[in-house]
């Protein structure tokens, strides 16, 4: 499978981020806790150099707790502040304000020495499509937020949100990058649903997922679908189709439907808490 494209709105979004980075104190980067490295846009490190950095392991409810902790340590070891969050249910959200102040304490101190008091921290929120940025901002800002509209020096129509007197957020559109050097990155993004399914072959994708699950979470498919985890991935998919009565014309197994069912179950956490990549592979 090959993933390579870069729609025009992504080029535009990147330009918007580059134009606004000078106004920013802190970059809040949402990653998917199931694939914390593969869901990071590699261009963000360059964009955010010399800025305070906060990584949010979002959708932590869908990944294994022990690996969430291991990933948090991994990123802390690289100098990032890290918080595990479940934006959908509000988990971890309460601690964010404190972490933002802590991550920006040098800047706040610098301001204080210059006699600048009460200038809010300005944070840019970034993340790939579907990582949960809107859900996170809504959870953090709640109803209290007010959009501050355009600021001088800021490109028109930008999405500034004033959280309170201490923090202002700049929302940015989710962007992917032009080319995946490593095809497994594209594959993992497809598993979690960040690459549109229309451009992918669901059966191929499902078989790749079956391969991973059999290797790293042996027995999980058997438990979920009451099937034999056959060696052959396509056979496994047929077994799922059979077990879930995915049929065409009343009798033939519909492996396409079974593939979509499997991917959907995985993406919504119905197979269990599953982490797709592990820190030791990025030591
Ligand atoms: P985006 O702005 O980054 O594109 O993402 P968005 O907030 O729209 O979230 C994408 C999907 O991820 C949504 O599901 C949202 O509910 C879900 N989501 C966001 N954060 C979390 C989280 O921490 N845990 C879990 N389990 N899910 C999360 P959806 O199916 O598109 O919508 P909905 O049916 O949930 O409303």
Whether ligand 1 lies within 6 angstroms of the CB of 92 is answered as: no
pTM of the model as a whole: 0.91
Q: What pLDDT does residue 227 have? A: 96
CA distance 117 to 102: 16
Whether ligand 1 lies within 6 angstroms of the CB of 135 is answered as: yes
CA distance 161 to 49: 23
**For all residues of the chain together, what is the average pLDDT?**
89
Which residue's CA lies nearest to atom 17 of ligand 1? 132
Count Cβ atoms below 10 Å from residue 277 Cβ, excluding itself.
Answer: 21
Asked if 237 and 207 touch (Cβ cutoff 8 Å), the reply is yes
pLDDT in tens, 42-101: 889 999 999 999 999 999 999 999 999 999 999 999 999 999 999 999 999 999 999 999
What is the atom index within ligand 1 of the atom nearest the CA of 62? 26
Whether ligand 1 lies within 6 angstroms of the CB of 107 is answered as: no
As a whole number, mean pLDDT of residues 161-176 equals: 90
Quote the ligand 1 centre to 146 CA distance (angstroms).
22
pLDDT in tens, 201-244: 999 999 999 999 999 999 999 999 999 999 999 999 999 999 99
Quote the ligand 1 centre to 33 CA distance (angstroms).
13
The secondary element (H helix, E strand) that includes residue 99 is helix 96-103
């Amino acid at each position: 499978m090959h993933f390579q494209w870069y729609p025009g709105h992504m080029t535009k979004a990147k330009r918007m981020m580059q134009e606004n980075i000078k106004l920013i104190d802190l970059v809040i980067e949402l990653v998917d806790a199931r694939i914390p490295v593969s869901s990071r846009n590699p261009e963000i490190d360059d964009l955010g150099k010399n800025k305070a950095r906060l990584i949010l392991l979002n959708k932590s409810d869908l990944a294994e707790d022990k690996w969430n902790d291991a990933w948090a340590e991994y990123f802390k070891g690289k100098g990032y502040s890290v918080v595990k969050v479940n934006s959908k249910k509000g988990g971890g959200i309460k601690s964010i304000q404190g972490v933002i102040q802590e991550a920006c304490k040098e800047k706040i101190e610098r301001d204080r020495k210059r006699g600048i008091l009460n200038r809010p921290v300005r944070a840019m929120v970034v993340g790939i499509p579907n990582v949960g940025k809107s859900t996170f901002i809504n959870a953090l800002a709640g109803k209290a937020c007010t959009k501050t509209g355009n600021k001088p020096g800021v490109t028109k129509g930008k999405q500034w949100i004033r959280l309170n007197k201490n923090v202002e957020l700049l929302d940015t559109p989710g962007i992917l990058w032009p080319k995946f050097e490593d095809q497994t990155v594209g594959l993992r993004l497809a598993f979690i649903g960040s690459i549109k399914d229309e451009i992918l072959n669901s059966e191929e994708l499902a078989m790749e997922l079956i391969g991973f699950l059999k290797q790293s979470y042996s027995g999980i498919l058997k438990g979920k679908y009451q099937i034999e985890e056959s060696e052959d991935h396509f056979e496994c998919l047929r077994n799922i189709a059979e077990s879930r009565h995915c049929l065409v014309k009343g009798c033939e197994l519909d492996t396409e439907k079974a593939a979509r069912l499997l991917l959907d179950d995985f993406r919504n956490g119905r197979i269990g808490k599953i982490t797709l990549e592990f820190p030791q592979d990025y030591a």
